[in-house]
């Protein structure tokens, strides 16, 4: 696979900056819903279970967004350092098509699937 062209790199950099903004907005708006459920509040047992379920979903979403935000930051840093586009594990090219789909990706497809235990 060929190294990224300057135009491709610029394209991915702007995707990453947009993603960073979107994630920051998402994290901000999920702040309120991730607040602990007040168990002393007289809302009834069923709605309490409901609230706790919703809350744990909100928490999981939030954690996923936080993780992704960190990956986006790391990817932007790699662009600054001129290391973006190379697999963090094997050093091979990640490839534009994969990066276009997931600009924060730090691993090539092969390394990613090995890490997820699905074989290469």
d(CA 34, CA 55) in angstroms, rounded, equals: 6
Q: Which is nearer to Zn ion, 4 or 87 (CB)?
A: 87
Binding flag, residue 108, Zn ion (CB under 5 A)? yes
Q: Which is nearer to Zn ion, 19 or 94 (CB)?
A: 94
Beta-bridge mates of residue 93: 86
Binding flag, residue 99, Zn ion (CB under 5 A)? no
Length of the chain as a residue count: 120
Query: Which of 95, 79, 90 lies closest to 3 in space, CA to CA?
Result: 95
Binding flag, residue 76, Zn ion (CB under 5 A)? no
Site of interaction with Zn ion (CB under 5 A): 87, 89-90, 92, 108, 111
């Amino acid at each position: 696979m060929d190294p990224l062209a300057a135009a491709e790199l610029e394209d991915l950099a702007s995707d990453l900056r947009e993603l960073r903004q979107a994630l920051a907005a998402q994290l901000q708006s999920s702040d309120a819903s991730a607040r602990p459920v007040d168990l002393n509040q007289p809302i009834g047992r069923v709605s309490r279970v409901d609230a706790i379920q919703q809350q744990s979903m909100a928490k999981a979403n939030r954690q996923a967004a936080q993780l992704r935000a960190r990956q986006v930051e790391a990817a932007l840093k790699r662009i600054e350092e001129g290391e973006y586009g190379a697999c963090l594990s094997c050093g091979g090219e990640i490839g534009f098509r994969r990066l276009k789909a997931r600009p924060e990706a730090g691993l090539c497809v092969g390394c990613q699937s090995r890490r997820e235990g699905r074989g290469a």
